[in-house]
Amino acid sequence: MEWKSPTVLNLNSVRRLLVSSIRSLRNPNPIFYRFVSTFSSGFNPSSPSRKTLTFFSNPHLWIKPNLHILPSSCLLRVLSKTLNFAINPNPDSGFLQSQIRSFFISTRRSINFDRDEFSKIADSIKRGETDFESKLNRMNLSQAQVKEILHTLNARGAPALRFYNWVMKTQSNFEPCSEIYNLIIDNHGRIGDFDAMLVLLRELSLKGHCLSEKAFEFLAVQSSNDVRHSIIKVLNVLNLSGGSCRGSGTQSLIKLLCNLGYFDLAIYVMELTMKKTSYYNVLIAAKCRNGDFRDARDVIEGMNRFGFDPNTKSYNYLLGCLFKNGRVAEACELLEAMEHSGYLPDAITYEMVALHSCRVGKMDEAIAFIERMVSEGLRPRISTHAGFIKGYFLLGRVNDAHKYVLDMSVRDKYSVNANYSLFVKMLLQSGKVVDAGMVLVEMMQKGLIPDFVVYKKVVSGLDKMGRRDLARELKQSYSNFTSCTDGGRCGRQFY
């Protein structure tokens, strides 16, 4: 592609470019790289309206990063920040410029850094080479690369503390994420260094960090006898660390043991620490995932014997298990028993019952549950609305689906965009392209901006079938949203 210098794109063009790039994270539009390179090298927001961005031809800046080794979430974060700036420019753009600049600098240094490099670094650390830091000093590691090296060290049972200390000392502006902390805790467990584990846990508790099951995955590679001994050591350091790590660590430990099928050891942990409803719920959820409804029911009965009351979440796990396995009569009996015992259904309870009714085609019963839910002051979740819309389509009741969307646009404004967009998507899948276009017009006339991907598919479909009049109307309506000035109001609603 030939580039002219300078090339001026208006704000709407930039917005469309970035949105289309976000849609295909692994293969963004080539213009996007030029935009970010130019933006990261300096952007002058001093133009009178700040509604244009100037792209200059700087070939030395245009380096296409190796996106295949970057996490989508990382790229999406930069894209969304950039998009936010394009939609709502801020005079103080220095922070955003520095974020994008540092992102692409680290990206360029990441090129050709593959798993062989990770393996070599791990081998060097495991051998305890005295100069491995000097080999690493020429590298600028990303979060993803640090995590990959830690995973490799853990798999090989090699100590990672020295590498972690090097990262914290040499990598400027490096902030470990929760997963990195959990990987370090796991590494200490694998090499049996519980003293070092305690030091780090105390530090994390002071900062308010919480642990996940990843911190104790070293238990998965131990024998059942070794697991019991390790559990005692883990609980000791958790107790000594106190704070956020003690509570979150104990619950995560119980959850991991349940996932491994060590239910007796999970109960053993509860006996060594304390028994409370949230811990019991972990057991119930694990039993339900395995389809062991009877065992899960026994856990609830055991709670009552020990003087612990279940809660609505406890019953929700059981209800979900029963509905999933087609045991509807038992689910209805459990729901009655739950309410009789004084446990009020929540939004998830109603969703499970209503969506089951949708799946079996009993839409009137499902609507009755939603009416009751709303009357009790509970807001249906997005997934609840989606179940109703899809349920109506499965029954061929498209008009009823439309009526449901219209009704809920008044009663639950927070879900209106998602409901409309899903309805249009279902129309497209049913081959009703013109109807989908008309619904988008209706939506935008209400001041609601549609999902961009759905909008583009509808416009493309209308163009292909020769309905360019409706396609033009949609484009014009959509442009009204994207042409709002910074100081003006356009009636857009984002929920």
Q: Tell me the three-class secondary structure of the chain, residue by residue.
A: CCCCCCEEEEHHHHHHHHHHHHHCCCCCCHHHHHHHHHHHHCCCCCCCCCCEEEECCCCCCCCCCCHHHCCHHHHHHHHHHHHHHHHCCCCCCHHHHHHHHHHHHHHHHHCCCCHHHHHHHHHHHHCCCCCHHHHHCCCCCCHHHHHHHHHHHHHHCCCCHHHHHHHHHHCCCCCCCHHHHHHHHHHHHHHCCHHHHHHHHHHHHHHCCCCCHHHHHHHHHCCHHHHHHHHHHHHHHHHHHCHHHHHHHHHHHHHHHHHCCCHHHHHHHHHHCCCCHHHHHHHHHHHHHCCCHHHHHHHHHHHHHCCCCCCHHHHHHHHHHHHHCCCHHHHHHHHHHHHHCCCCCCHHHHHHHHHHHHHCCCHHHHHHHHHHHHHCCCCCCHHHHHHHHHHHHHCCCHHHHHHHHHHHHHHCHHHHHHHHHHHHHHHHHCCCHHHHHHHHHHHHHCCECCCHHHHHHHHHHHHHCCCHHHHHHHHHHHHHHHCCCCCCCCCCECC
What is the CATH architecture assignment of 372-495? Answer: Alpha Horseshoe (1.25)
Distances (CA, A) of 466 to 433, 435, 460: 11, 14, 10
Distance, CA of 440 to chain centre: 28
In 10 A of CB 83, how many CB atoms? 18
Query: Which pair of tokens denotes residue 72?
Result: 């989508």
Length reported for the chain: 495
In 10 A of CB 284, how many CB atoms? 28
Q: What is the pLDDT along the chain (495 residues), one digit of tens a residue?
A: 333 333 444 445 544 555 555 444 444 444 444 444 444 444 443 333 333 333 333 333 333 333 333 444 444 444 544 444 444 444 344 444 454 444 444 444 443 455 666 677 777 777 766 766 776 766 677 888 888 889 988 988 889 988 888 888 887 778 889 999 999 999 999 999 999 999 999 999 999 999 999 999 999 998 878 999 999 999 999 999 999 999 999 999 999 999 998 999 999 999 898 888 899 999 999 999 888 888 888 888 888 787 888 899 999 999 998 888 888 888 888 888 888 888 888 999 999 988 888 888 889 888 998 888 888 888 899 999 999 999 999 999 999 999 999 999 888 888 898 999 999 999 999 999 999 999 999 998 888 888 889 999 999 999 999 998 999 998 988 888 766 534 444 444 433
Dihedral pair phi/psi, residue 151, rounded to 5°: -60, -45
Percent of the chain with pLDDT over 70: 71
d(CA 257, CA 164): 27
Long-range contacts of 451-458 (CB under 8 A, 24+ apart): 451/417, 451/421, 451/424, 451/425, 452/19, 452/23, 453/23, 454/421, 454/424, 454/425, 454/428, 457/428, 458/424, 458/428, 458/433
- pLDDT (0 to 100) of residue 69: 37
d(CA 414, CA 416): 6
Dihedral pair phi/psi, residue 445, rounded to 5°: -65, -25
Dihedral pair phi/psi, residue 7, rounded to 5°: -110, 125
- Domain residue ranges of the chain, discontinuous segments joined by +: 7-110, 372-495
Query: Which pair of tokens denotes residue 218?
Result: 């070293």
CA angle 327, 330, 336 (to 5 degrees): 140
- pLDDT (0 to 100) of residue 285: 92
In 10 A of CB 213, how many CB atoms? 20
Residues contacting residue 471 through CB under 8 Å, at least 6 positions apart: 437, 459, 462, 463
d(CA 192, CA 383): 44
- pLDDT (0 to 100) of residue 237: 96
d(CA 190, CA 186): 6
d(CA 74, CA 167): 19
- pLDDT (0 to 100) of residue 58: 36
Distances (CA, A) of 197 to 207, 219, 236, 241, 244: 15, 15, 11, 9, 15
Under a CB-based contact definition with an 8 Å cutoff, are residues 37 and 80 in contact? no
- Which amino acid type is present at position 494? F
d(CA 415, CA 222): 47
